Chain A
Amino acid sequence: MGALKELYKDLRSVLAAPLRRKAFSPWVINMVKRLVALSSHAFPWRATYLMTLKALDQVAKAYLHQRPVVWHNVFFPTEILYGLKVIPFAPEAASALAVGLGLASEAFKMGSAHWVATDICSFHRLATGLDLAGYFPAPDAIVCTSHLCDIAPQSLAWSSARYSKPFYLLDVPQGSNPENASYVARQLKNIFYSLARDLGLSPDMEALRVAMERSNEARRLLLEIKAIRRQKPAVIRGEEAHGFLYLMLTSWGADFTKEVYQELLEELETRRRERKWAVPREKFRLLWLHLRPYYPTEIFKILEEEGGAIVVFEEMHHVYWEELDVDRPFYSLALKVLGHQGLGLMERRVRTILDMVQEFNAQGVIHFAHWGCRQSTAGIRLLQDALRQENKAFLNLDGDCVDQEKYARGSVRTRLEAFLELLAADRILP
């Protein structure tokens, strides 16, 4: 981790001047790519290193505008975008990266100056601020889904107005049934063809097919990864596995996704064979809900290193959809969108989490209650009650994934240590 921190420090140093001038020339981008390429030792996993290089490549293409750039929210089925061979750019994901580059403070101030209220999700508050400050590559179009996150379509619609670029909303109803799937599928088809028209591209159904096949291959690999992670003891720590959520949220349909997952799978298998466990002594197994802070914290150090409580799986890595039918691309993508466990009745999410707890033999669940995320946080009481009934420990840890000012170090340590004691006592409060 020390080497990774050094890499971030070097990146900040190289990027300081260009970031101030918002000048991302090919020279700067190549410099950054070279720096990362030479820093393979900084990454504990080759797969993370590979993912970083690939992601950097994509980001570079976006900044250099080598192809049309399409902004999207993290729940949009990116197979559509890779099928059009545009360059997807997810402001939410970029905002997580920006935290590491030390841009958050400036961006938050910029957002506040433009009336972006602190009540909303900080990912979007930060993303909006970064955009207003000129750090993002300009979009040629913006796509967004309406489900799960209320603020994403609102903030992206505003961005589209500011850039005078087309905005396409995928209106996702509650509930997965044929009627809703048909509605979503027709919209996806409209979006595919409308984007092609607006961006001056040919809508290539064969390219969409390829993107979906890549997505299916990546999905199969992710399920194999999940199978290895189920085994005791764990070979990858939760903090390390978290990084791969980048792919989950931005890269379905990309050629590099399956490459990274393949690499990760091989490394996991190797470490298992060589008995290189995630921690010397695994005492407890935990499930993690939502994301984690993207600035340095002690959370995983307290849990995994000090407490031996390994985050063995993340809800966000749950594969909630069936293999895509490449002959019915829009309908199967609609089913994928509607299949998310967070959509519809809360009991669906509760059931999914309980199944994961059982599957991974977890003793406890931690929900990181990211500030402003109402879809995940608002109904957590029902989940808490359900876990209590199953005699599973639950911790709702209030925090913020990207606003470091909200991190209360002492309070977090106290809560985590109390949670570890609860696990140790195997005692759930009535």
Chain B
Amino acid sequence: MKAEQGTKKEEYLLGWFCSYTPLEIIRALGFKPYRILPPLGKAPRADGFFAGNLCPYVKACLENALEGRLPGLLGVFMVPSCNAMIHLSNLWRELNLPGPIWVVNVPRGYDSLAVDYFSRQLEEVAGQMASFYGRRLREEDLWQAIEEEKQRKECLKKFLEERAAGKIFLEGVQALQLLEEGIHGQGISLNPGEKVAVPGDKIRLLLVGSILPSSLLEMIEQAGAISSLEDACNGWRLLPGEAPQTNSPYTYLAHLYLSKPPCPRMVADKGRRRKYLRDLLSRYRIDGAIYHVMKFCDAGIMDWILVKEELEIKGIPVLRVEGDYTGGNRGQWSTRVEAFLERLRR
């Protein structure tokens, strides 16, 4: 299969899942990244292909694809970040879902060996994609995409940091929506009148999880608190890390992504995740935290223990809730969230 030349670039969509996906490469090739975030709901067809006790987000992704609800994708970019994603990529291939599938192995730590390996992986996959789609990928194009993405993400980062500092009063759902749009190329701009500080008596929460459901954030805010910081794969984990100056755009990207806010799968160096959390907790006022654990997510289940330990050191109360990506947890959550907030108010 070859992409047709001559049509508008922005129509060429390439699907992606994981926050470690190098969007710069996708953009430099002239594609528009499309984040695959299926709607909440049951996954009856996917259940026929997967074991019962598997990540519900992954099942929803498969369900979405089987139902034909994806837009016209010219391929998908997959990071084999866990067994669930690995099995998704296997089935995606077997079931002839929109492809081809571009896989890049992302190291689970950040050191010189990992950077070296990851940069080679990125260069290899970029070359393969360019060849397959009949595109030319010059280093200048990639550097340009890197610079544009950097500016976009810096803007997002500033916005999120000001929000976490209480300088911008914006509900969690709206913030995540803006973040998602920002990642996909839309700029963020707030009118001066919208830049209102968070009232001092509002309870400010840290939310942690993989994909945070908007229903949880809505519930928190309906109960009178605010989610001011979201350490999640649809939150702060989309922000960039830092990269030293280097001649190779691939090495630059390797540093950038491996140094970004770490997700629980970065198990080679949990010290880095602890340090990241401690830094957040000391920089921002956090009155309490809610950890949303996706059912059957091994990384999340163990990360909860680490996050709880760090929060206890700081004396910050935390509530653990479980999610199954069906949207049916509101009833279970509402009582517990309200009781938790009541405790914080005391």
Q: Which residues of A contact B (CB under 8 A)?
A: 114-117, 119-121, 146, 148-151, 153-155, 157-158, 161, 167, 169, 171, 173-175, 179-180, 183, 186-187, 190, 345-347, 369, 371-372, 374-375, 377-382
Q: Is the CB of A382 within 8 A of B94?
A: yes
Q: Is the CB of A378 within 8 A of B84?
A: yes
Q: Is the CB of B267 within 8 A of A154?
A: yes
B51 at the interface (CB under 8 A from A): yes
| Beyond A120-B302, A381-B49, 11 additional pairs, beta carbon < 8 A | A114-B305, A117-B301, A119-B296, A150-B83, A153-B108, A154-B298, A158-B306, A161-B270, A347-B90, A381-B50, A382-B94
Q: Which of B32-40, B109-117, B162-170, B221-229 contacts A (4 or more CB under 8 A)?
A: B109-117
Q: Is the CB of A146 within 8 A of B105?
A: no
Q: Is the CB of A183 within 8 A of B91?
A: no
Interface of B is mostly: helix
Chain B 309-346 per-residue mask, 1 if CB under 8 angstroms from chain A, else 0: 00000000000100000000000000000000000000
Q: Is the CB of A346 within 8 A of B308?
A: no
Report chain B residues within 8 Å CB of A347. 90
Tell me, rounded to whole Å, the shortest Cβ–Cβ distance linking A143 to chain B: 12
B54 at the interface (CB under 8 A from A): yes
Report chain B residues within 8 Å CB of A150. 82-83, 298-299
Q: Using A378-B50, A380-B51 as known contacts, say yes or no to A346 and B105 having CB atoms under 8 A apart.
A: no
Q: Is the CB of B90 within 8 A of A379?
A: yes
Which residue of A169, A173, A381 is within 8 Å of B105 (Cβ)? A173
Query: Could you tell me which residues of chain B, from 54 to 109, have a CB within 8 Å of some CB in chain A?
Result: 54, 80, 82-84, 86-87, 90-91, 93-94, 103, 105, 107-109
Query: Could you tell me which residues of chain B, from 277 to 309, have a CB within 8 Å of some CB in chain A?
Result: 293, 295-296, 298-299, 301-306, 308
Report chain A residues within 8 Å CB of B114. 171
Q: Using A169-B109, A171-B114 as known contacts, say yes or no to A345 and B90 having CB atoms under 8 A apart.
A: yes
B262 at the interface (CB under 8 A from A): no
Q: Which 10 A-B pairs have the closest CB atoms?
A: A173-B105, A154-B302, A346-B90, A169-B268, A374-B83, A150-B298, A378-B87, A151-B298, A153-B267, A377-B51
Q: Using A173-B105, A174-B105 as known contacts, say yes or no to A372 and B53 having CB atoms under 8 A apart.
A: yes
Tell me, rounded to whole Å, the shortest Cβ–Cβ distance linking B233 to chain A: 16
Which residue of A115, A157, A346 is within 8 Å of B87 (Cβ)? A346
Report chain A residues within 8 Å CB of B124. 179
B249 at the interface (CB under 8 A from A): no
* In the complex, residue of chain B having the shortest beta-carbon distance to the beta carbon of A151: B298
Tell me, rounded to whole Å, the shortest Cβ–Cβ distance linking A365 to chain B: 16
* In the complex, residue of chain B having the shortest beta-carbon distance to the beta carbon of A382: B94
B136 at the interface (CB under 8 A from A): no
